[in-house]
Amino acid sequence: MLAQLETILYRIGAFILALISTFSSLLGMRGGGIPKEAATEDTLCMTIAAISDTHVGKDAIGAAFLTPGMRDISDPSLDVDAVLFLGDNTDNGNVDNWEVFTKSVTANCKVKNKIVLLGNHDTWISYDTPHVYEEGLKNYLHYSNLIMGTNNTLPYFTRVFNGYWFICLAQEDTSVSATISDTQLNWLEEQLRLAAADGNGKPIFVLLHQPMNFTHAVGDNLNNNGINDGQSKKLQAILDRYENVFYFSGHQHYGLNDGTDQLPAGFSTVEHVGRNITSVNFPAFGRGSYFDGGDPLIGDGLIVNVYADRIEFLGRNFVAGGWLDFNQTVYFTGITE
Ligand SMILES: [Fe+2]
């Protein structure tokens, strides 16, 4: 019975995907095109596919979108080196949700290097019972370690792919906004020091599900969205001491925007923050944009092309397998080689 229901739901999902593919050209997508072909081969160092807020539940609908998304990310024409899942991977971080998410990713994503961040929804086992952080953390560690091939015992960790450092942060309670302990911030500072020494001017990626306060149209912590208890300022001050820091977040569900035409006022996907931080807020893969003017389609994310002197952010709908009308480039400073 359950299998039959899943099959029916999968077919409904597939039908919706067909509709998306049919009408995608009306919504600003441009078909085909391989970023690396347009690039100078000898300067393209890494291609990242990054998505956030997949919000996979226990039913088959979440997987119906995630599965074609994973297949698109694995397409050889994209030549992706690493995949980032920026949190709220599950709608509730219980075993049922994680099983659906993990099976879809492991069966369909052929890219070896993966990062799975903790999001606030991943710390919520149920909407009906009090949230207990330790329960969500236990499930997150079990399934994220399975997917990443790691043995992490903490939700914050570092991975190095193609010589680039990805320093991954995590909230330490079950609130919507992030609580980051001084212990974690001290750890971050040490990781940044090591990354800078190793990278010699290369960009350093710092990942947290929530954006910093006063970025991406996020207010202070009263908005219950960014980072709690003054930790956002401390985090930004630490990041500001280093060159070419790229801070990736999700959480907002605001879609993709170049800062000109989308609610809420002032939201921009790629922002310059502080002295030399580039903050990038990713759309909600599993939800579409909450706001008028944003792309309502499920499956949006970014292809991030890392060159020797710049990073290029290209919008892509991974479910329909088409490019979006979003393309922004950030050049580095402080290159010493
Ligand atoms: Fe979310």
Task: Specify the pLDDT at position 16.
Answer: 54
Kindly report the CATH number assigned to the domain that includes residue 112: 3.60.21.10
Q: How many domains does the chain have?
A: 1
Distance, CA 284 to ligand 1 centroid (Å)? 7
SS3 at position 189: helix
Distance, CA 192 to ligand 1 centroid (Å)? 27
Residues 144, 288: Cα–Cα separation, whole Å: 24
Distance, CA 176 to ligand 1 centroid (Å)? 9
Residue 123 lies in a domain: yes
Q: Please report where in the chains the tokens 């401390």 appear, as a residue.
A: 234
Record the tokens describing residue 194, joined without a space: 């090591």
What phi and psi, each to the nearest 5 degrees, are found at residue 74?
-85, -5
Residue 24 lies in a domain: yes
b/e string for 302-332 if b means 16 or more Cβ within 10 A? Answer: bbbbbbeeebbbbbbbbbbbbbbebebebeb
Residue 135 lies in a domain: yes
| β-strand partners of 314 | 303, 327
Residue 337 lies in a domain: no
Distance, CA 203 to ligand 1 centroid (Å)? 26
C-beta separation of 179 from 171 below 8 A: yes
Which helix (H) or strand (E) is 48 found in, with range?
strand 44-51
Distance, CA 7 to ligand 1 centroid (Å)? 26
Distance, CA 149 to ligand 1 centroid (Å)? 25
Residue 243 lies in a domain: yes
Task: Specify the pLDDT at position 33.
Answer: 31
Distance, CA 121 to ligand 1 centroid (Å)? 7
Distance, CA 287 to ligand 1 centroid (Å)? 8
Q: What is the CA radius of gyration of the chain?
A: 19
Distance, CA 253 to ligand 1 centroid (Å)? 6
Distance, CA 336 to ligand 1 centroid (Å)? 38
Distance, CA 52 to ligand 1 centroid (Å)? 8
Task: Specify the pLDDT at position 224.
Answer: 55
Distance, CA 39 to ligand 1 centroid (Å)? 33
Q: By residue range, what is the domain housing residue 176?
A: 2-331
Residue 65 lies in a domain: yes
Task: Specify the pLDDT at position 264.
Answer: 62
**Residues constituting the chain:** 337
Distance, CA 87 to ligand 1 centroid (Å)? 8
Q: Which of 324, 281, 267 is nearest to 300 (CA)?
A: 324
Distance, CA 294 to ligand 1 centroid (Å)? 16
pLDDT less than 70: residues of the chain: 1-42, 219-224, 259-265, 292-293, 334-337
Residues with CB under 5 A from ligand 1 (ion): 53, 88
Task: Specify the pLDDT at position 334.
Answer: 56
Task: Specify the pLDDT at position 290.
Answer: 73
Which helix (H) or strand (E) is 145 found in, with range?
helix 133-148
Residue 63 lies in a domain: yes
Task: Specify the pLDDT at position 220.
Answer: 53
C-beta separation of 322 from 301 below 8 A: no
Distance, CA 110 to ligand 1 centroid (Å)? 25
Distance, CA 210 to ligand 1 centroid (Å)? 9
Residue 336 lies in a domain: no
Distance, CA 209 to ligand 1 centroid (Å)? 9
SS3 at position 221: helix
C-beta separation of 73 from 108 below 8 A: no
Residues 251, 48: Cα–Cα separation, whole Å: 19
